[in-house]
A and B are shown apart, each in its own frame.
Chain A
Amino acid sequence: MSRYLLRRLVMMLPVVFGISLITFLLAYLLPADPARMYAGPNASVETVNSIRHQLGLDRPFHEQYLRYVWRAFHGDFGYSYHFKMPVWDAILSRVPYTLELTFAGILVELLVGIPVGSLSALRQYSWLDRLSTLFALLAVSAPPFWLGLLALYFLAFKFPIFPLGGAGSFHHLILPALCAGAGGAAWYARMMRSSTLDVVHTDYVRTARAKGLRERVVVYRHILRNAIMPIVTMTGMDIPWFLGGVVLIETVFAWPGVGKLAVDAIHNVDIPLIMGTVVFAAIVVVVSSVITDLTYAMIDPRIRYQ
């Protein structure tokens, strides 16, 4: 198990390196002058030059990159020009917010998607089934940031039930979580529907009914328990993808998470911070994909990793 884990991590390392290398290269080719940005617009040419030398920005590309990697391995991701603080501290201070939103959003996906999906499968072709199909189609096609802005307009401005953005309380979390989870909920509802339909027509469900079990027991213990398996495994794979949407939602709701930080860094051309958030995202993706694999093994005893 631990050998498998190690191999998976080693295999994913090139992703982190590849992405950091490409971003670093693009940043290096960027016409903007980081030394000038660091020094501020009023600094003299001498100051800018000395800062450039101090930051090592006058060194050749490979030297700069290798130094970046070396320092990154020691936990030093550079210094944010804009926020005037170490990049890693800036990121870590935002992580709890992104985690909160991610968990809440995935919870929305599952709590809405699974019941709706299984109900529409159990009542196939009913009005509920048709309605949920329609909503699923619309929710998957609607841009999450648009849903967010509409929710803000109607539920925070026209009818001020929720705050107009920001974070801090459970109240603040509701709208962002709903909007972040809407598309995923629709997706899970479709998956749960087809997964339930697969199970409904199996022999063991017919057997369960034939031996006179109450319908409740058949539905909960025989149908839903089996139908939910593929959904659980999908959730793990979903986490990195969810983070993409989180960037949009954080921007809409001024949610102070890592996604908002990354977008701000891009707008401020804060290169060390851009690099830091990109590498951070790569690490999160790698770690969550390995964790997903491990959960498979825990859920499904047939899977053994060597």
Chain B
Amino acid sequence: MRTHIDASEQPIRVLEDADRLPEHQSQLALVWRRLKRDRLALLGAVIVALLVLVAIFADVLAPYDPTVPFDDGLTLQGMPVPSTLPESSQFILGSDSSGRDLLSRIIFGARVSLTVGVLANGLAVTIGLVIGSIGGYFRGWVGALVMRFTDMMMAFPSLLLAIALVAVLKPSLWVIVLVIGLVYWTWIARVVYGEVLSLREREFVTAAVCAGASAGRVLFRHILPHLIPTAIVWGTLGIATNVMLEASLSYLGIGVQPPTPSWGGMIQQGQYYYRSAPWLILFPGLAIMLTVLSFNLLGDGLRDALDPYQRR
């Protein structure tokens, strides 16, 4: 694996690296070795892992059902109760405006946020890889057309575009996934386009073409493997952006709909009580920030670790 990728890119470096590394060390081990040294990236990775675990085991971890209102979850005036009062200390982070347990909703909210973030990003990375490869590999009018289209889409801010698309649709989890995927792919396509443009001039592509490989085979078997690092980096950074997009749409009331717990939606419902129950804003927002931050840290670290020109 390692010799295959490196041999085509940096023959001189391979020798240097091979001198220092044991022969059996794979590309993966090398990346891991670099990542381990990046403390911020490791911190990001740990938080991401924890978030994923929370999302998967939400049923086990959440103290209560996130959609069930409790009689003692509201004051006599119908206001949310804080966790600081002795009679409502069973709600660790307080209750929300319907008398539901906030902590349970935040835990289940992780599931919604990560589902949207990961699926939408999977869609965006796939579209970006396809469009970017076509644009970069096929010169002439096909490539020009595809990249013009990308530029046009890119000129339009993702959030505004997503709002325009969701505005008239009935929002649901799947609509949000689709919309975010459809507005976010342009960035990935741009990066992939640049890489394919330089990859197609390399000797191994010429060799494959000479050997009679079809365009599809060249793209899939010879070029695509080189794009995997890019896909991994953008696959991580993109989740951060998409979690934020989902939260923003849900905050505007056009994202994931209640009673499904979504962090942005929780802030939207909580904002009418922010003076008397600031915890309804504070904790879901912290959850969004922590998620976005950890994926950003991990993505930045991966970008550095996967950089083939880095000599560590």
Contacts and interface: CB of A to CB of B under 8 A. Distances in A.
A153 B274 CA distance: 7
B74 interface: no
A282 B290 CA distance: 33
Given A140-B296, A278-B167, A146 B281 contact: yes
B296 A12 contact: no
Given A247-B163, A282-B156, A289-B155, A30 B168 contact: yes
B224 interface: no
Nearest to A281: B160
Interface of A is mostly: helix
A145 B248 contact: yes
B281 A141 contact: no
Nearest to B291: A141
A251 B251 CA distance: 9
Contacts, number: 127
Interface in A248-306: 248, 251-252, 262-263, 265-267, 271, 274, 278, 281-282, 285-286, 289
Given A149-B281, A278-B164, A245 B159 contact: yes
Contact of B240 (A141, A247, A263): A141
Residue in A153, A252, A266, A281 whose Cβ sees the most chain B Cβ within 10 Å: A266
Interface residues of B, number: 42
A157 B274 CA distance: 10
A248 to B, nearest CB: 6
Contacts of B271: 149, 252
A137 B168 contact: no
Nearest to B281: A149
Contact of A137 (B155, B159, B275, B296): B296
B156 A143 contact: no
B267 A142 contact: no
A153 B275 contact: yes
Contacts of B157: 240-241, 243-244, 285
A286 B275 CA distance: 40
A56 interface: no
Nearest to A32: B168
A18 B161 CA distance: 11
A39 interface: no
Interface stretch (A19-27, A102-110, A201-209): A19-27
A138 interface: yes
Interface string A144-175: 01100110110001000000000000000000
Contacts of B163: 247, 262, 266
Interface in A1-41: 11-12, 14-15, 18-19, 22-23, 26-27, 30-31
Interface residues of A, number: 47
B278 A153 contact: yes
A145 B270 CA distance: 12
Nearest to A265: B167
Contacts of B248: 143, 145, 248
Contacts of B244: 143
Contacts of B165: 22-23, 26
Interface in B214-244: 240, 244
27 contacts: A11-B152, A15-B153, A23-B168, A30-B168, A137-B293, A137-B296, A138-B293, A141-B290, A142-B289, A142-B292, A143-B251, A143-B288, A143-B289, A146-B281, A157-B274, A241-B157, A243-B157, A247-B252, A248-B159, A248-B248, A251-B252, A266-B167, A267-B253, A278-B164, A281-B164, A285-B155, A285-B160
For the complex of A and B, list the 7 residue pairs with the smallest distance between their C-beta atoms, beginning with the closest: A244-B159, A146-B285, A141-B293, A141-B292, A26-B168, A244-B157, A27-B168
